[in-house]
Structure 1
Amino acid sequence: MKTLNPSKSSTGLSNIGFQIANYTILTLFMLLCIYPFYYIFIYSISGSQEAMTGITWFPKGFTLVSYSKVFEFDGILNATFISVSRTVLGTLLTTFLCSLFAYLMTIEQFPMRKFFYRFLVITLYFNAGLIPWYLLMKNLHLNDNFLLYIVPGAINVFYIILIKTYIEQLPKSLEESAKIDGAGYFTIYWKIIMPISTSILATIAVFTAVDQWNNWFDNYILVSDKNLQTLQYELYKYITQASSLSRQSGMEINRGGATAVYMTPQTVRMTITMVVTLPILCVYPFMQRYFVKGIMMGAIKG
């Protein structure tokens, strides 16, 4: 006849209790992270007047008028094209150049390899400041130039360090066998290093895309051409002028239909926040499987 072991049963109960508490805390933490974004979303699709009375879980007076009006603001479509272009081109250029430079830093035969790498690392600790950066961009004739958005950030030291560390963990036998077959350094980089470095390159691509999409300060400082305005800068101007925009939007809707619909400043802010945030959030589901692996393998040297 079997007898129950009190110590084992108590251990099992404590494990179950720990799991319940653990999942409960993590679920609450997840809700705390998600709810602010969810609140912005339901506010943006609610009627302006109904939303002013308060919203908790569900939208009131469902409508997409705020989104349609935001995309009717002057210059929004062209600014969207500029932001998408700088994000795509900037991400591709930065990922390619940083990975190529990082691979060069792993080649022992590369002249002055340690000097260049140490010089790069030093730049992480020193920053010339805003005025020298502004003067440099002006002297390079990058003001009112689309290249301003993609060239200055094409080389990022932090990304180079991550990629270099990742490449150094790859088996040296792969490069050695390729050299025996007559492959040059660029061939090795393009056909061997790049395909097996998907994880870290995808991580760098996510970082770069988020930075490019959210950046508006270079536009604010150095670009006055209306055809080169970015979406983030245009929406930043609209947010700062939300009160006047809400009155303007209300009058436009009133002329177009029999019933007057007014957008409050808060509705304008919530809608613009969703317009700016949602596109870049769509990138993460496609890159998530590479993201954690790339960060861990690129940040820890074996």
Structure 2
Amino acid sequence: MFMILFSLVILYPFWQVVVLSFSDGREATTLGFHFWPKHWSFEAYRYLLSSGEIVRPYINSIVRTVLGTLLEVLFTILAAYPLAKKELPFRGGLTTYFIIPMFFSGGLIPTYLIIRSLGLLDNFLVLIIPGAVAIFSIIIMRNYFMSLDTAMEESAVIDGAGYLTLLFRIILPVSTPVLATIALWGAVEHWNAWFDAMIYIRDRNLTVIQVIMREMLASVSEQSNEVMLSNNAQQAQLAMSNVRSGIALLSIGPIIFIYPWMQKYFIKGAMIGSVKG
């Protein structure tokens, strides 16, 4: 009973956002609990999508998330597999070299100067390349590789397999949990990121949806009660809570659909990869 009540306390605010996004303006401005829309309305989403500012950034966020996650997973694999080998020369020093930047960084200004010197300002690659190496993910995957039974690799080496063959045909097929975990972390991080786009991107055609939605939320006047939407010479009223709720759902939609499919791998991969060091 306690867990049921605790779950309801967590789920109701999210459900409230869903209900408000599909309610009309009059219902959204009334006080009280909203368990189901009395009058269904899609005006909030029509208003957001018809503005023209949201479609291109939404596509940019999807492209960034897909490419950034693939690149991060690839680099994580290529860095973690050698570090998991005891015969790697200077393995301890290389591991320390990776760990130090995880706790210490140069700060925002030196990072900006490096980005500018590389010519990545107002370049879509600035949203992908700087985050391609995730040190924490490398450490997790390294520990997972070290926990695997070495007999699988030894038998393949006897048959003449090299390191790349071992990695892609022996190790990765049995590493689905940790791969799914790293991919989920990378996807969520890229999808939610907005600060780097705000700092390094000035071209509106290259920005991401999180920046646009942040600007839309910031531009909403707290003293205004409604937004007037003109559609086919007809006026429809929207409450600010409708617009805010629609923005919130659009921003978390893809992650909500992806996360349940990755949940079982996420738990297993995180636990196994964090045991052996």
Q: TM-score range by the shorter chain?
A: over 0.9
TM-score (norm 1): 0.87
Alignment of 1:102-113 (within 5 A): 102-113=80-91
Report the Cα offset of residue 243 of structure 1. Answer: 3.5
Gaps of 5+ in 1: 1-23
**In the alignment, which residue of structure 2 is the partner of 1:48?**
25
**8 A Cα contact 1:243 1:264, kept in partner:** no
For residues 97-142 of structure 1, what are the alpha-carbon distances to aligned partners after superposition, in whole Å with 9 as ceiling and x for unaligned?
1022100101233232221111111222212111111111111111
Alignment of 1:221-300 (within 5 A): 221-243=199-221, 250-253=228-231, 256-257=233-234, 260-300=235-275
**In the alignment, which residue of structure 2 is the partner of 1:13?**
none
Alignment of 1:201-216 (within 5 A): 201-216=179-194
Give the distance between the partners of 2:42 and 2:25, measured in 1 at CA: 11
Q: Which runs of 4+ in 1 moved over 6 A?
A: none
Identity over aligned residues, as a percent? 38
Report the Cα offset of residue 55 of structure 1. Answer: 4.5
For residues 209-230 of structure 1, what are the alpha-carbon distances to aligned partners after superposition, in whole Å with 9 as ceiling and x for unaligned?
0110010111100101121010
Question: Which AA in structure 2 matches 1:82?
Answer: N
**Greater length-normalized contact order (CA 8 Å, ≥ 6 residues apart):** 2
TM-score (norm 2): 0.94
Question: Which AA in structure 1 matches 2:10?
Answer: C
Q: Secondary structure at the match of 1:81?
A: helix
- Structure number with greater Rg is 1
Root-mean-square deviation over aligned CA pairs: 1.8
Question: Which AA in structure 1 matches 2:48?
Answer: V
Q: Match for 1:33 among 6, 10, 13? A: 10
**8 A Cα contact 1:94 1:153, kept in partner:** yes
For residues 20-77 of structure 1, what are the alpha-carbon distances to aligned partners after superposition, in whole Å with 9 as ceiling and x for unaligned?
xxxx000011111111110111011111122111251222321111111111123211
Is residue 144 of structure 2 the alignment partner of residue 169 of structure 1? no
Is residue 105 of structure 2 the alignment partner of residue 127 of structure 1? yes
The answer to which structure has the higher strand fraction is 2
Gaps of 5+ in 2: none
The answer to which structure has the higher helix fraction is 1
Give the distance between the partners of 2:31 and 2:23, measured in 1 at CA: 10
Q: Secondary structure at the match of 1:250?
A: strand
Give the distance between the partners of 1:268 and 1:132, measured in 2 at CA: 38
